[in-house]
């Protein structure tokens, strides 16, 4: 028993399977342990062990170590149950395991069992199941097993996001998410059915083994894009994302935004790899959807006043940037442009890894902020840097990273996308590709506006409500899980060549161009120069801070209120609001957010007090899908009459059904 167990652990895929099993059962002992917090502490320890075990296997696979294919006995008649991992799976597994460990550790302090006995066990159990199901999706090599893991991932995340189900807003968001995710699953059933019809097996086919010609191949590609894209939050399939991420517990939002969205992108990458070539129309479609998602996503984020909804809409933008790089690579595969393939894939994979670091950091920080302020409305906050000095510094790091500002890692992936756009738009016969460069510039500018607004309203100025002053800094159990991704974001900026080297094996194997050609194309990119400049900037910032700190510590410093243009009694209400700060960009990009304005009524000569309300709405969900679904509900409302509650009537339905089936069998 011992040697066989050690052989399993020594194999890279075996260690990943073991990590998956540990994650799946990490929350089970908590159901049996009566001591408050005992099960939660046990789950954290098991999760950390699973992270170390699985990360070692993923690193070995990326380094070139081959892994075994594991066959699991199951009673289902859908071919053999096969588990395996390659470079593509390993790249997604590394951030998955890291973020899961950070979220589990954060959840111990954020949702302690001693204070939340009714919800802690459920959250701990399903957090482990969610992580395990995502690992299973990445390891599955059978389409039926993939669908089972996909459904487990959907239901686990639904239970987690619906933790506070007594809230009407949570109920609405949970319903929208459940409908959206199962709609995507239905489309994936179509994809897997057509895949079985084409190959004659439920096992995944070999790479580049299916012809992309014909109508069936087009339907398969569209089904994969819709089914997996719904989970990734690609527009216009994003309707579930803002509400789900806003209403889930903060560490669950971090795992969903940082990792679960990427699992949808993994599905698209994996499905496309089955085909011999990528149709040109599909590449342009993916590129356009990525561009639309990036621009509209950040435009929605600019108009948000809810902290977590803003971060969720920013995730749509970043998913759009990744999909944009994916579309560039697919267009390059269809037209035979190696530079476009390599730079598109490299930019997409780099931004995928970077987003999996800085977005969980921001969501974890939002949990601390909301706990201290008692609200998610950013216009009611302010001055939190004095109460939350550590959180403000970590949140600043995440904000700089998401904006792509030095010395952090957010710009490294975008750099490759810019280079691909310039090269293919100028030197190659793809002039339309050049339009992606100004599109990325617009997205970057809006991102800076959004997060300058967000950080300023949260941490600077004075508190806008009296309750803000009652908050306090988070305990180390919540700060340490934020320090880890913040440090990695900084290392990704000052050690950009190492970060690029992480994704090179995936780019070379997925593109099929070979490592020599890929490294030759990437070599001229000035990553080392970027790293040196980031390092010098970081050193300069530290030097200035040390000098300033020494000067301030030796001299008495007088403090006074900010100059208010001569006004003697300024109040917190006289500060900038989010609407005022982003008014120009919000008015230019008002269509995606479709703000609902409730102007004050006309007043007589002597005006009375009134309220002016400006609220952002979700145009696709509120004005298109929900009215359409209401119409469908009205059309099928007559079916409710059949559910009368009388057992005799139900037995009559069974008899009628059996009679119809008997008649049909004899025809």
Residue 537 has a CB neighbour count (10 Å cut-off) of 15
The CA-based angle 506-509-511, given to 5 degrees, is 95
State the average pLDDT over residues 25-47: 85
CA 323 to chain centre: 13
Residue 82 phi/psi, 5° resolution?
-120, 135
Which of these, 379, 370, 396, 446, lies nearest to 580 by C-alpha position? 379
What are the tokens at 421? Answer: 């756009």
Give me the residue label for tokens 């690609």.
234
Q: Do the beta carbons of residue 473 and residue 389 sit within 8 Å?
A: yes
In this prediction, residue 620 carries a pLDDT of 63
The CA-based angle 55-59-63, given to 5 degrees, is 170
**Banded pLDDT at 406 (limits 50, 70, 90):** confident
Residue 597 phi/psi, 5° resolution?
-105, 125
Under DSSP, is residue 72 helix (H, G, I), strand (E, B) or coil? strand
**Banded pLDDT at 29 (limits 50, 70, 90):** confident
pLDDT higher at 639 or 283: 283
Q: Do the beta carbons of residue 394 and residue 365 sit within 8 Å?
A: yes
State the average pLDDT over residues 470-475: 81
What are the tokens at 122? Answer: 């459920």
Give me the residue label for tokens 């490299």.
346
Which of these, 329, 301, 296, 328, lies nearest to 313 by C-alpha position? 301
- Give the dihedral sign, CA 453/459/464/470: positive
Which of these, 390, 385, 396, lies nearest to 489 by C-alpha position? 396
pLDDT in tens, 105-163: 999 988 887 787 778 888 999 999 999 999 999 999 999 999 999 999 999 999 999 88
In this prediction, residue 548 carries a pLDDT of 81
Which of these, 29, 40, 46, lies nearest to 108 by C-alpha position? 40
Distance CA(631)–CA(620), nearest Å, equals 16
User: Is the pLDDT at 424 greater than 80, yes or no?
Assistant: no
Residue 606 has a CB neighbour count (10 Å cut-off) of 5
pLDDT higher at 318 or 629: 318
The CA-based angle 407-97-94, given to 5 degrees, is 60
Under DSSP, is residue 300 helix (H, G, I), strand (E, B) or coil? helix
In this prediction, residue 8 carries a pLDDT of 62
In this prediction, residue 593 carries a pLDDT of 53
DSSP 14-39: HHHHHHHHHHHTTTSHHHH--STTHH
What is the pairing mode between strands 613-615 and 596-598? antiparallel
**Banded pLDDT at 608 (limits 50, 70, 90):** low
The mean predicted confidence, pLDDT, of the chain is: 85
User: Is the pLDDT at 210 greater than 80, yes or no?
Assistant: yes
Distance CA(296)–CA(588), nearest Å, equals 12
Distance CA(440)–CA(430), nearest Å, equals 17
Render the burial of 129-146: b for 16+ CB within 10 Å, e for the rest: bbbbbbbbbbbbbbbbbb
DSSP 343-366: HHHHHHHHHHHHHHHHHHHHHHHH
What are the tokens at 296? Answer: 């509209």
- Using omega within 30 degrees of 0 as the cis cutoff, is the peptide bond preceding 236 cis? yes
State the average pLDDT over residues 502-527: 89
Q: Which of 130-134, 415-419, 643-647 has the lowest mean pLDDT?
A: 643-647
pTM assigned to the model? 0.89
What are the tokens at 425? Answer: 């738009």
Under DSSP, is residue 377 helix (H, G, I), strand (E, B) or coil? strand
What are the tokens at 16? Answer: 């990943």
Which of these, 60, 45, 63, lies nearest to 15 by C-alpha position? 60
User: Is the pLDDT at 217 greater than 80, yes or no?
Assistant: yes
Distance CA(181)–CA(99), nearest Å, equals 22
DSSP 521-537: HHTTS-HHHHHHHHHHH
Residue 198, CA distances (Å) to 194, 206, 217, 234, 269 in order: 6, 13, 9, 27, 19
State the average pLDDT over residues 346-359: 94
C-alpha distance across the termini of the chain, in Å: 59
In this prediction, residue 601 carries a pLDDT of 62
Q: Do the beta carbons of residue 497 and residue 54 sit within 8 Å?
A: no
Range ranked top by mean pLDDT from 39-43, 392-396, 420-424: 392-396
Length in residues, the chain = 667
Q: What percent of the chain has pLDDT over 70?
A: 84
Residue 661 has a CB neighbour count (10 Å cut-off) of 9
Q: Do the beta carbons of residue 23 and residue 135 sit within 8 Å?
A: yes
Question: Residues near 84 by Cβ (< 8 Å), separated by ≥ 6?
Answer: 13, 67, 68, 69, 70, 139, 141
In this prediction, residue 306 carries a pLDDT of 87
In this prediction, residue 70 carries a pLDDT of 79
Which of these, 30, 317, 258, lies nearest to 131 by C-alpha position? 258
Q: Do the beta carbons of residue 207 and residue 333 sit within 8 Å?
A: no
Write out 227-258 in H/E/C secondary structure: HHHHHHCCCCCCCCHHHHHHHCCHHHHHHHHH
Q: Which of 309-313, 397-401, 459-463, 514-518 has the lowest mean pLDDT?
A: 459-463
Residue 412, CA distances (Å) to 3, 190, 388, 403, 460 in order: 44, 37, 30, 11, 29
State the average pLDDT over residues 258-279: 94
Distance CA(21)–CA(280), nearest Å, equals 41
Q: What percent of the chain has pLDDT over 90?
A: 44
Q: Do the beta carbons of residue 374 and residue 287 sit within 8 Å?
A: no
In this prediction, residue 1 carries a pLDDT of 44
pLDDT higher at 571 or 210: 210
Crossing angle of the two packed helices 338-373 and 410-426, in degrees rounded to 10: 150
Which of these, 126, 360, 124, lies nearest to 262 by C-alpha position? 360
CA neighbours closer than 13 Å in the CB half-sphere of residue 430: 23
**Banded pLDDT at 582 (limits 50, 70, 90):** low
In this prediction, residue 19 carries a pLDDT of 93
Write out 108-143 in H/E/C secondary structure: HHHCCCCCCCCCHHHHHHHHHHHHHHHHHHHHECEH
Q: Do the beta carbons of residue 111 and residue 367 sit within 8 Å?
A: no
Q: Do the beta carbons of residue 255 and residue 360 sit within 8 Å?
A: yes
């Amino acid at each position: 028993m011992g040697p066989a167990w050690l052989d399993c652990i020594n194999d890279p895929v075996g260690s990943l399977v073991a990590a998956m099993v540990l994650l799946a059962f990490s929350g089970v002992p908590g159901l049996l342990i009566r001591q408050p917090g005992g099960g939660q502490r046990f789950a954290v320890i098991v999760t950390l062990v699973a992270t170390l075990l699985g990360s070692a296997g993923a690193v070995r696979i990326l380094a070139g170590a081959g892994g075994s294919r594991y066959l699991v006995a199951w009673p289902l008649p859908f071919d053999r149950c096969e588990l395996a991992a390659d470079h593509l799976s390993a790249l997604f597994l590394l951030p998955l395991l890291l973020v899961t460990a950070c979220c589990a550790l954060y959840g111990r302090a954020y949702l302690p069992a001693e204070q939340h006995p009714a919800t802690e066990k459920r959250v701990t159990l399903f957090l482990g199941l969610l992580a395990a199901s995502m690992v299973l999706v990445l390891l599955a090599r059978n389409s039926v097993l993939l669908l089972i893991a996909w459904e487990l991932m959907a239901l686990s995340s639904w239970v987690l996001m619906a933790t506070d189900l007594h809230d009407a807003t949570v109920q609405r968001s949970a319903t929208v998410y459940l409908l959206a995710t199962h709609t995507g699953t239905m489309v994936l059933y179509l994809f897997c059915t057509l895949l079985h019809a084409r190959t004659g097996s439920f096992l995944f086919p070999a790479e580049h083994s299916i012809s992309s010609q014909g109508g069936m191949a087009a339907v398969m590609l569209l089904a994969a894009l819709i089914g997996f894209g719904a989970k990734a939050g690609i527009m216009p399939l994003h309707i579930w994302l803002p509400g789900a991420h806003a209403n889930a517990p903060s560490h669950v939002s971090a795992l969903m935004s940082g990792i679960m969205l990427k699992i949808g992108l993994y599905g698209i990458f994996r499905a496309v790899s089955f085909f011999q070539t990528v149709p040109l129309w599909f590449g342009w479609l993916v590129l356009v959807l990525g561009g639309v998602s990036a621009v509209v996503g950040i435009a929605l984020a600019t108009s948000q006043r809810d902290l977590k909804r803003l971060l969720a809409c920013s995730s749509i933008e970043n998913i759009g940037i990744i999909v944009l790089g994916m579309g560039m690579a697919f267009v390059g595969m269809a037209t035979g442009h190696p530079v476009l393939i390599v730079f598109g894939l490299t930019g997409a994979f780099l931004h995928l890894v970077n987003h999996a670091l800085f977005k969980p950091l921001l969501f974890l920080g939002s949990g601390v902020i909301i706990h201290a302020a008692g609200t998610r409305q950013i216009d009611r906050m302010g001055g939190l840097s004095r109460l939350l000095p550590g959180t403000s510094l970590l949140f600043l790091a995440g904000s700089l990273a998401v904006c792509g500002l030095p010395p952090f890692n957010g710009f490294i992936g975008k750099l490759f996308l810019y280079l691909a756009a310039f090269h293919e738009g100028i030197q190659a016969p793809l002039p339309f590709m050049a339009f992606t460069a100004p599109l990325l510039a617009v997205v970057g500018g809006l991102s800076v506006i959004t997060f300058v607004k967000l950080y300023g309203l949260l941490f600077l100025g004075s508190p806008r409500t009296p309750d803000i002053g009652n908050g306090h800094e988070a305990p180390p159990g919540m700060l340490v899980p934020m320090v880890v991704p913040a440090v990695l974001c900084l290392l990704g900026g000052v050690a950009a060549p190492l970060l690029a080297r992480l994704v090179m094996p995936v780019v070379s194997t997925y593109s099929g161009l070979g490592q020599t050609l890929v490294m030759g194309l990437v070599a001229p990119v000035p990553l080392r120069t970027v790293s040196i400049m980031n390092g010098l900037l970081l050193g300069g910032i530290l030097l200035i801070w040390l000098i300033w700190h020494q000067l301030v510590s030796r001299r008495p410093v007088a403090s006074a209120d900010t100059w208010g243009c001569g006004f003697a009694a300024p109040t917190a209400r006289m500060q900038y609001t989010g609407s005022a700060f982003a008014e120009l960009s919000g008015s230019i990009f008002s269509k995606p957010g479709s703000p609902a304005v409730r102007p004050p009524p006309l007043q007589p000569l002597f005006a009375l007090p009134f309220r002016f309300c400006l609220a952002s709405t979700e145009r696709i969900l509120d004005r298109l899908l929900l009215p359409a679904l209401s119409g469908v509900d009205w059309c099928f409302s007559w079916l409710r009459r059949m559910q009368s509650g009388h057992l005799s009537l139900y037995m009559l339905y069974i008899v009628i059904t059996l009679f119809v089936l008997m008649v049909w069998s004899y025809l």
